[in-house]
Amino acid sequence: MAEVTFAERLVAAEGVRVRYLEAGVGDPLVVLHGAGGLRLGPAHHLLAARRRVIAIEIPGFGASVADHGAASLRELALTVATAIERLDLGRFDLMGHSFGGKLALWLAVERPESLRALVLVAPAAIRPEGRPPLPEDPAELHRLLHAHPERQPAAPPPDPEVAARQRELVARLIGPPREPELESRLAALTLPVLVLFGTEDRVVPPEMGRLYPALVPGSHLVFVFDAGHLPDAERPEAFAALVDDFLERHRGFLVRRRSGLIHP
Amino acid sequence: MKVALFSPVPYLGDAPAIWPVPAEAYSAEVAMASTQLALEQFQLADELGFDWVTVAEHHYAPLSLTPNPAVLAGALTQRVRRARIALLGPTLPILNPVRVAEEVAMLDTLSGGRVIAGLLRGTSNEYVTYDVNPAESRERFEEALQLILRAWTEPQPFGWLGRYYEYRSVSIWPRPVQRPHPPVYISASSPEGGEFAARHRLGVGFAFTTVPLAAEAVRHYRERAAEAGWEPAEDQVLYRVAAHLAESDEQALQDLEARGSRPSYSRSNRAIDDASAGAGYYGRDAARQRARLQRHGLRERIGLGQLLAGSPDTVLAQARAIHEALRPGVLEVVFEAVGREKTLRAVELFGTRVLPCLREL
């Protein structure tokens, strides 16, 4: 793996200071994390070897910044959009995971002109009815999130106060399993959208994936075999290669470039 | 109990007992006659009331003239009017899984929803055929099977980012007639197979084994299915047995003795089987998996439940014993190649005198 170091920075937006981690040079890729908070893994390092990766800590998450009291996910998306504007990136690629996937969709429908392409990883925008909230016990959560929990390093023990605040924020903003107001606006999106689901996802079942191509005209669904809710963590090389290729070629990425020649 | 008739479509001429078998001795006339006999058998089985007819995939040897079972199954959709048509089956790890999904869906469409999809790993030597490392056999198999289930059921085009397979867009036409998809069977002779079938709620089939070994494997499968919160239906356990019937026990045994025996696919080339075993093809009970492929004498084969042989009454008693020990929902019978007339007579005796009683079980 290329040596990539993420630097911690802050940007001010609407009276809150937004923390973000940045590495790499090239086309900017903004990353929005899931309900568990800011998380960087080997896939993000691989992506940063070929582009400028900016992983934002969504306001209200983490230890440093207090919840600024967004009333809705749409409102939160606008705050995040303002923070990104302050970074002066020009048009950028956006990747959102789970909770951050739904946030990314809100950002996309509100600021479509600022985006080049969108990657949704196990997005939580469409969920089955009647699911219990995620378990609070870290070990239990670790098992639920992964297809192969034994192969994954356990996350550092969370600060219980931060974890509780994040849970409260997610519960307040995640919205219903289906949100007609958001869904009705998806048909107007014209940017290329890649939707990824792990085949063993037990948080947002991969069967939810089939609803995106039906709702988002330019979207393409890919199943990441043998991965759970965090396909970037469980299949980092494959994940990064696919996302890289998609961000480079958009819908043209359906056409293979890998050579089949074995004995030149 | 349901009853299937399986034919590997054996080449009925002489050929050396090695693998791969050189084509020097090959006769197109013999191959055509062998194929016609198999088609006649399948058609006769359909007329006699067999529930399924079954085809399989094997390569580079006269033991079977069906390297692509889908081709033969396509022909059968036009000759077999009532029975289900089972592929047991495509050898997934050496094939393109999307192609397999398409072929099965085509066959289901051609046959009006009568296809059974056995999806298998094949014997160790098959890996040489299409140049695939047998060490990757199980992982390829498990991934390919899950990809095929998605290809049959996903309503939108999808990409597949696998470990062994990657497709940027899959959206097969035609789709299977049976919803959500044709019944799927896998081999569960190994414990790994039974565990995978239990996890994915698939049926299991047993061939080239013995009743005691299969009984143990069925127990393992049922236990794991219970742990996974479901109970396999009777139909989801299939057991394959060879058979020959004649008017009398003596005649049947005499026919079989006159025919002699041929070594199995994987025993025909020990170097290949040893190399495959060394690569880890056989999984965690390798010694037992290899031992079950051992050839036995006629009497022993009958005792182990590998062979039904004798008069219709004798064969019925033997089949009842298998049912008692194993409770398979499907008994799959492969009639021994003892010459055209004798083989067809055996099918007829089985169909008229044994089959009606077995269906009551």
| Residue A263 within any structural domain of the chain | no
Question: Which residues touch A106 (CB under 8 Å, ≥6 apart)?
Answer: A73, A74, A76, A77, A182
Placement of tokens 């001795």 in the chain:
B25
Question: Which residues touch B330 (CB under 8 Å, ≥6 apart)?
Answer: B1, B2, B3, B4, B51, B52, B205, B235, B237, B238, B239
CB contact under 8 A, A209 and B158: yes
B286 falls in which pLDDT band (50, 70, 90)?
A: confident
C-beta separation of B3 from B319 below 8 A = no
pLDDT tens-digit profile of B52-69?
999 999 999 998 999 999
- Helix B69-79 to helix B28-48 angle, to the nearest 10 degrees? 50
Of B147, B154, B160, the CB nearest to A210: B154
CB contact under 8 A, B150 and A223: yes
Q: Give the range among A215-219, B100-104, B260-264 with minimum mean pLDDT.
A: B260-264
Tallying the residues shown for chain A, one arrives at 264
CB contact under 8 A, A210 and B162: no
d(CA A2, CA A50): 10
β-strand partners of A18? A11
Is B118 strand, coil or helix? strand
B260 falls in which pLDDT band (50, 70, 90)?
A: confident
pLDDT tens-digit profile of A154-195?
888 888 999 999 999 999 999 999 999 999 999 999 999 999
Answer whether A238 touches B (CB < 8 Å): yes
Name the minimum distance, in Å, from the CA of A234 to any CA of chain B. 11
Is B185 strand, coil or helix? strand
| Residue A1 within any structural domain of the chain | no
At residue A65, the pLDDT reads 60
* Dihedral of the alpha carbons of B276, B278, B279, B285, in degrees to the nearest 10: 90
Other CB atoms within a 10 A radius of the CB of residue B30 amount to 17
A82 vs A18, A104, A107, A110, B136, CA distance in Å? Answer: 10, 13, 10, 11, 50
At residue B205, the pLDDT reads 96
Q: What percent of chain B has pLDDT over 90?
A: 83
At residue A63, the pLDDT reads 74
Higher pLDDT, B294 or B21: B21
d(CA A165, CA A62): 9
Task: Report the mean per-residue pLDDT for chain B.
Answer: 94
Homologous superfamily assigned to B2-360: Luciferase-like domain (3.20.20.30)
Is B160 strand, coil or helix? strand
B265 falls in which pLDDT band (50, 70, 90)?
A: low
At residue A13, the pLDDT reads 86
Tallying the residues shown for chain B, one arrives at 361
Please spell the DSSP secondary structure of chain A, one letter per residue. -----PEEEEEEETTEEEEEEEE--SSEEEEE--TT-----HHHHHHHTTSEEEEE--TT-TTTS-----SSHHHHHHHHHHHHHHTT--SEEEEEETHHHHHHHHHHHH-GGGEEEEEEES-SSS--TTPPPPPSSHHHHHHHH-SSGGGSPPPPPPPHHHHHHHHHHHHHHS--SS-HHHHHHHTT--S-EEEEEETT-SSS-GGGGGHHHHH-TTEEEEEETT--S-HHHHSHHHHHHHHHHHHHHGGGGGS--S------
d(CA A21, CA A129): 35
C-beta separation of B272 from B124 below 8 A = yes
d(CA B191, CA A210): 34
**10-residue mean pLDDT series, chain A (264 residues):** 84 89 97 96 97 96 73 94 96 98 98 98 96 90 96 87 92 95 96 98 97 94 98 98 98 93 92
Per-domain residue ranges of chain B: 2-360
A44 vs A108, A253, B58, B283, CA distance in Å? Answer: 21, 20, 45, 36
Pairing of the two strands B84-91 and B115-120: parallel
Q: Which of B243, B245, B256 is nearest to B310 (CA)?
A: B245
ipTM of this predicted structure: 0.96
- Chain B residues interacting with chain A (CB cutoff of 8 angstroms): 143, 146-147, 150, 154-163, 165-166, 168-169
Placement of tokens 């999984």 in the chain:
B283
Placement of tokens 């495959």 in the chain:
B276
Other CB atoms within a 10 A radius of the CB of residue B176 amount to 22
Other CB atoms within a 10 A radius of the CB of residue B166 amount to 16
At residue B274, the pLDDT reads 86
At residue A15, the pLDDT reads 83
* Burial state string for A85-97 with b = 16 or more CB within 10 A and e = fewer than 16: eebebeebbbbbb
Q: Say how many domains are in chain A.
A: 1
Q: For chain B, state the CA radius of gyration.
A: 19
C-beta separation of A119 from A94 below 8 A = yes
Question: Which residues touch B183 (CB under 8 Å, ≥6 apart)?
Answer: B116, B117, B203, B235, B236
The H-or-E segment that residue B341 falls in is helix B340-349
C-beta separation of B48 from B345 below 8 A = no
What values do phi and psi take at A16, rounded to 5?
Answer: -115, 150
> What's the CATH number where A193 sits?
3.40.50.1820
d(CA B113, CA A150): 42
At residue A2, the pLDDT reads 52
Other CB atoms within a 10 A radius of the CB of residue B257 amount to 11
| Residue A182 within any structural domain of the chain | yes
Residue of A201, A211, A222 to mutate, testing the B interface (most B Cβ within 10 Å of its Cβ): A222
Residue of A120, A194, A225, A256 to mutate, testing the B interface (most B Cβ within 10 Å of its Cβ): A225
C-beta separation of B264 from B357 below 8 A = no
3-class SS letters over A109-120: HHCHHHEEEEEE
CB contact under 8 A, A225 and B162: yes
Q: What percent of chain B has pLDDT over 70?
A: 98
- Cα end-to-end distance, chain B, whole Å: 5
β-strand partners of A29? A53, A93
β-strand partners of A93? A29
Range of the structural domain that residue A22 is part of: 7-254
C-beta separation of B86 from B115 below 8 A = yes
d(CA A137, CA B244): 62
Which chain A residue lies closest to B156 (C-alpha atoms)? A210
At residue B271, the pLDDT reads 85
Distance from the Cα of residue A121 to its chain's centroid = 5
Of B143, B156, B163, the CB nearest to A221: B156
Tokens linked to A155: 């996350």
CB contact under 8 A, A254 and B168: yes
**How many CA atoms, within 13 angstroms, populate the side-chain half-sphere of residue A26?**
14
Average pLDDT over residues B141-159: 98
Question: Which residues touch B78 (CB under 8 Å, ≥6 apart)?
Answer: B110
C-beta separation of A198 from A227 below 8 A = yes
pLDDT tens-digit profile of B200-218?
999 999 998 999 999 999 9
Query: Is residue B158 predicted with pLDDT exceeding 90?
Result: yes
Residues of B in contact with A235 (CB under 8 A): 161
Can the peptide bond before residue B20 be classed as cis, meaning omega within 30 degrees of 0? yes
